[in-house]
Structure formats: C-alpha cells, structure tokens
C-alpha cells in the first residue's frame, strides 16, 4: 500500500491482505465495457506472449476513477496481476 494512502476506518467495508510478490502493473483509462476487453487481452494475448506465468494469487485493481460513480461512465485503474518467471 502506498504511503500516501489514507486508512479507511469504516468497518462496513471488507478488508483484504494482498500477498507480496511480483506483479505486472497495467494502468488503464476507459469507459464502461472496456475493462472486460482489457482483462481478456491480458490473459489471452499479453500473458501467453510474455515470459511470465500467472500465479494462484488473485489479481486486483485500484480505482482512481470509478465508472459506476461517475455520470460520464469513465474509469481510471491500476490493474495488478501476480506473475512468476
């Protein structure tokens, strides 16, 4: 977790511990519907052509702008995929 992130103290929100390791980071901006296409590209095009394999750790995304909360339906995320050589 970046040092400049604020701690959310609302107990109604779920909390997850993210395992350490090597993660591929993808920054993406788009509109509703683009995220599914992007994830398909990561797993079916980028990953097979890369020198990496994914692990059993779940991927995660940090939303900088959430398309469900904005009228313009645009999002900005950082998507993290656990990888190994």
pLDDT digits 0-9 by tens, 22-59 = 999 999 999 988 999 999 999 999 999 999 999 999 99
Report the C-alpha gap between 29 and 63 in whole angstroms.
Answer: 10
Give which of 20, 22, 27 is closest to 63, Cα–Cα.
27
Give the list of residues 6+ apart from residue 11 with CB closer than 8 angstroms, or none. Answer: none
Q: Could you tell me which residues are beta bridge partners of residue 8?
A: none
Q: Higher pLDDT residue, 40 or 16?
A: 40
Which DSSP symbol is given to 50? S
CATH of the domain spanning 23-84? 3.20.80.10
Q: What ranges do the domains of the chain cover?
A: 23-84
Q: Do the bridges between strand 60-65 and strand 23-31 make them parallel or antiparallel, or are there none, so unpaired?
A: unpaired
């Amino acid at each position: 977790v970046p040092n400049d992130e604020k701690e959310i103290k609302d107990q109604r929100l779920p909390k997850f511990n993210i395992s350490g390791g090597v993660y591929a980071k993808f920054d993406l901006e788009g509109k509703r519907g683009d995220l599914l296409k992007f994830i398909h590209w990561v797993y079916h095009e980028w990953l097979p052509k890369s020198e990496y394999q994914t692990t059993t750790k779940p991927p995660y995304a940090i939303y900088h702008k959430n398309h469900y909360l904005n009228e313009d339906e645009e999002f900005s995320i950082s998507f993290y995929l656990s990888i190994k050589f």
